[in-house]
A and B are shown apart, each in its own frame.
Chain A
Amino acid sequence: MKDMRTPLSRVRGMGAGHGGTEHFWQQRLTAIANLVLITIYLFVVVSLATGEYGSVREAFANPIVGVGAALVIISACVHMRLGMQTIIEDYIHGPLKWVLAIGNIFFACLIAGVGLYAIIKMSFGG
């Protein structure tokens, strides 16, 4: 019998799932990024959290601190979206799964949006 798949489909080799190893790979990639970035920012936050308002604003006005903090937010939010998606897929079945899967993406984007806005505002001294 003739193969019904298109040549492109055969080359991509994704099958019916339409996806490959992106989830696995991005989870590992952001895990490595988080290990480096969050270790550094743990000490940044600890050194600032007990301090005055002025010292926090001064630190985040520094471009290196600002860019690094933005990368933490992006890497952490991608990582936690993937992780929570796995938990939802493992334990929640039926229609509720889709509600939570969509809510998970919205929550991760909301956290990233608010975090990035705050960092950018402090970077440009608003």
Chain B
Amino acid sequence: MSDVKSKRPLSPHLTIYRFKATMTMSILHRITGSALYFGTILVVWWLAAAASGPDAYASARSFFGNFFIQIILIAYSWALIHHALGGIRHLIWDTGHGLSKETSTRFAQATIAGSLVLTVLLWLGIWLFA
């Protein structure tokens, strides 16, 4: 049935709605999930380089030390933290709690604020103590 292409009307989709905190976090949960998906290439590359030997690890280390790659890593860590906080939100919803309009909006605001604060704290910690 997936090949059916008819002119039947479709239900309204993203383009018709005004953006709300909850829907933005829902979309960001998918985008960050996709980013984490493809970013695993970097993770296993680092692991494989460390397993291959000193030379491979040295080239991986200089690659990850690059300024632009560092920015990607900051974005990647934000995606990880945002997706984790969004996941906690979903686990709370699974218990049947926090589904009201007010609470879910507060959850959405806490997710974006929390992810930004934790990402800043993480990288401050890396730059101060590493």
Complex alpha-carbon distance, A28 and B46, angstroms: 28
Report, as a range, how many residues of chain A touch the other chain. 35 or more
Contacts of B6 in A (CB 8 A): none
Contact A38 B84 (CB under 8 A): yes
A-B contact pairs, 21 of them (CB 8 A): A31-B90, A34-B84, A39-B84, A42-B122, A46-B125, A46-B126, A46-B130, A50-B130, A56-B57, A73-B44, A76-B40, A77-B40, A87-B33, A94-B2, A95-B3, A114-B48, A115-B44, A115-B47, A117-B48, A118-B47, A119-B51
- B110-124: contact bitstring with A at CB < 8 Å (1 yes, 0 no)? 000000000000100
* Given known contacts A38-B84, A93-B2, A28 and B40 CB-to-CB distance under 8 angstroms: no
Contacts of B77 in A (CB 8 A): 42
A53 to B60, CA, bound (A): 11
As a 0/1 sequence over residues 15 to 56 of chain B, the CB contacts with chain A under 8 angstroms (1 = contact) are 000000000000000100110110011011011101100100
Q: Are A35 and B87 in contact (CB under 8 A)?
A: yes
Q: Is the CB of B50 within 8 A of A56?
A: yes
Taking CB atoms, residues of chain A closer than 8 Å to B44 are: 73, 111, 114-115, 118
Q: Is A122's CB under 8 angstroms from B91's CB?
A: no
Q: How far is the CA of A118 from the CA of B56 in the complex (A)?
A: 13
Main secondary structure of the interface of A (DSSP, over half): helix
Known contacts: A94-B2, A111-B40. The answer to whether A32 contacts B91 by CB under 8 A is yes
List A residues 19-74 near B (Cβ within 8 Å). 28, 31-32, 34-35, 38-39, 42, 45-47, 49-50, 53, 56-57, 60, 69, 73
Does A121 interact with chain B (Cβ within 8 Å)? yes
Q: Which residues of A contact B (CB under 8 A)?
A: 28, 31-32, 34-35, 38-39, 42, 45-47, 49-50, 53, 56-57, 60, 69, 73, 76-77, 80, 83-84, 87, 93-95, 97, 111, 114-115, 117-119, 121-122, 126
Given contacts A31-B90, A94-B2, A111-B44, contact A122 B50 (CB under 8 A): yes
